[in-house]
Structure 1
Amino acid sequence: MMQRLFAGYTAVLEETSLALAPVLLIFTVYHIFYLKVTRRYFVKIFLGVVIAFAGLTLFLQGVNIGYIPVGAALGELLADLPYRWILVPIGFFLGFSVTTAEPSVHVLVQEIDKVTAGAIPKRIMFFALCIGVAVAIALAMVKILAGLSLWYFLIPGYVLALILSYIVPPVFTAIAFDSGGVATGTMTATFLLSLAIGAASRIENANPLTDGFGIIALVAVMPILTVLGLGLLYRFKERKSRKNASAAADIDRITVPPAGTGK
């Protein structure tokens, strides 16, 4: 049991070490020659890196032995049902649920809240990202069931994103295109991708290579659109506020003539 649980763990350790080693090396060199933080603070950072290393290795090991097989099995099970359309709402629900557990999404939302000083509410931004991924997974299931080309989704999506980027406030444009990359994190690239491949492998006239893959591209574009849509709402709200402020200013400029100075 334990042997199967940690099968391939050595490879995961090597991959995580190669990913974290350059960051730790650069920080150490910078600390020695330029930063020169206190020893206590350096130990605190070093312990944080050790904890991150342990967490990443265990997380990736769990993904390899649990998440990917479960996603593939669930996709095959749902595709074998007589009412395959159930893949669409379940895909939407799973896309939303998995995004709530995506670490990179939480980091991005917290950074946005910190930089904007709460001007963009954290909950609203988080909800927009989750909805974007959920819609992307639902569309991916429609694509698999109907045998549609990926271009039918990507080209209109990016064209709409480019148009909206000229309308919404600049801060939303930058956040939107960053959110597309953040949403395609480890959770999406493991569970949801294996779910789509598993479903495509059981559907007639569907190819796991051409129909199962491509889900990451959809996940990359849909959060961009939802965040830009949120920016559009903020733009309309801003214009409405300005209009109300202008109307109030006009009212303030109206003077009432003194009594007895005319009709």
Structure 2
Amino acid sequence: MIPLLIDEVVAVAESVAVAVLPLGAVFLILQVTLLRLPRRQVSDILKGTAIAGVGLFLFLLGIGVGFLPYGRAVGEALGALDSMWLVVAIAGLLGFLVTWGEPAVRILADQVESASSGAIRGRMVLIAVCVGVAAWVGIGMLRITLGIPLLWLLVPGYLVVLVLVWLGDREFVAVAVDAGGVATGPLANSFLLALALGAATAVGADPVVQGFGFVALIAVAPIISVGLLGLLVRARTAERPPATPPSRRPLPE
């Protein structure tokens, strides 16, 4: 057990070093040749980079040691259940909760609210993304259980995306497309992919054929849900009667 943990620590440390050190080196080169920032600001940036590297190391180590085995164990337990609809319901709930805790999704929601000056509420976007992922995680588990080909879901899904892009407002289309990327962040991606692989193993399906491709379904889910949210907001806005100015009484002569 301890040797495996040491191997995991070394592997994660190497991957974090490969990711962070080149960025730090590029910053120092630009600092010398182009930026010429004050020494205190350079120190703050380097300290922040070091803290981010440590945080990334701990995060990836936790995923590798605990989160991936946990997701696979849950997937195997779900795949062993007899009730198909119970499997779909539990998988959808897990998809909602994992996406709710995904840092990238929360950052997107906060930035959308900030950039739109509150016109698009961040919590509304967050809930739309979580609901979309939950629905498609359930559909993905149904695909694994029934052996449905991946293209039977992806092709109609992206056809719906094209229709929503054509009909939707530019603001919500842009947010929806970015939401498809952030929903497959490291937290949701690692857990839900392990969940799919565990479920495929439990039902006796080929994990490569039925387990993988799950992330593609998760990526298309927020585009559809946020696009539908945009159409709903536009419809509700169109139903509201225009505000009429209050009547003014004539001033006495």
Task: Provide the TM-score with structure 2 as the length reference.
Answer: 0.90
**Letter of the 1:70 counterpart:** Y
CA distance in 1, matches of 2:130, 2:15: 29
- How far apart in 2 are the matches of 1:106 and 1:84? 31
Distance 2:187 2:126 in 1: 16
Instruction: Give CA deviations for 1:52-105 in whole Å, capped at 9, x if unaligned.
Output: 100111111111111111111111122223334322111111101111221211
- Does residue 1:148 correspond to 2:145, yes or no? no
Structure 1: which amino acid aligns with 2:137? I
2:216 match: 217
Name 1:132's counterpart in structure 2. 132
Q: Match for residue 198 of structure 1?
A: 198
SS in 2 for 1:245: coil
| Contact kept in structure 1, 2:157 and 2:220, CA below 8 Å | yes
CA distance in 1, matches of 2:141, 2:171: 32
**Alpha-carbon offset, residue 33 of structure 1:** 3.2
For 1:245, give the aligned amino acid.
P
Partner of 1:234: 233
Determine the C-alpha separation between the residues in 1 that align with 2:33 and 2:236: 50
Q: Is the 8 A contact 1:136 1:218 kept in 2?
A: yes
Deviates more, 1:229-238 or 1:194-203: 229-238
Task: Give the 3-state SS of the residue equivalent to 1:23 in structure 2.
Answer: helix
Q: How far apart, CA to CA, are the structure 2 residues paired with 1:158 and 1:75?
A: 26
Q: Partners in 1 of 2:228 and 2:84 — Cα distance? A: 31
Q: How many pairs are equivalent?
A: 247
What does residue 91 of structure 2 align with? 91
- Taking the aligned partners of 2:6 and 2:13, their CA distance within structure 1 comes to 11
**Maintained 8 Å contact 1:136/1:219:** yes
Are 1:162 and 2:162 counterparts?
A: yes
Secondary structure of 1:8 counterpart = helix
What is the CA-CA distance between 1:126 and the residue it aligns to? Answer: 0.7
Query: In the aligned structure 1, how far is the partner of 2:3 from the partner of 2:47?
Result: 28
In 2, distance between residues paired with 1:117 and 1:6? 48
Counterpart residue type for residue 174 of structure 1: A
Correspondence for 2:58? 58
Give the superposition deviation at 1:3. 5.0
Q: TM-score, normalised by structure 1?
A: 0.87
Kindly report which structure 2 residues correspond to 1:12-51, keeping only aligned pairs within 5 A, or say none. 12-51=12-51
Residue pair 1:78, 1:84 contacting (<8 A) in 2 also: no
Unmatched segments (≥5 aa) in structure 1 = 253-263
1:162 maps to amino acid:
L
In the aligned structure 1, how far is the partner of 2:153 from the partner of 2:77? 26
Calculate percent identity across the aligned residue pairs: 38
Deviation beyond 6 Å, 4+ runs, structure 1: none
Residue 163 of structure 1 deviates from its aligned partner by 1.0
Q: Are 1:136 and 1:215, in contact at CA under 8 Å, matched by a contact in 2? A: no
Could you tell me how far apart the structure 2 residues matched to 1:234 and 1:82 are?
40
Which residue is 1:77 aligned to? Answer: 77
Amino acid in structure 1 at the alignment position of 2:220? V
Instruction: Please report how far the alpha carbon of residue 26 of structure 1 lies from its aligned counterpart in structure 2 after TM superposition.
Output: 2.8
> What code does the residue aligned with 1:216 have?
V
Contact 1:6–1:61 (8 Å) recurs in 2: no
Cα pair distance change 1:19/1:84, threshold 3 Å:
same
CA distance in 1, matches of 2:235, 2:23: 43
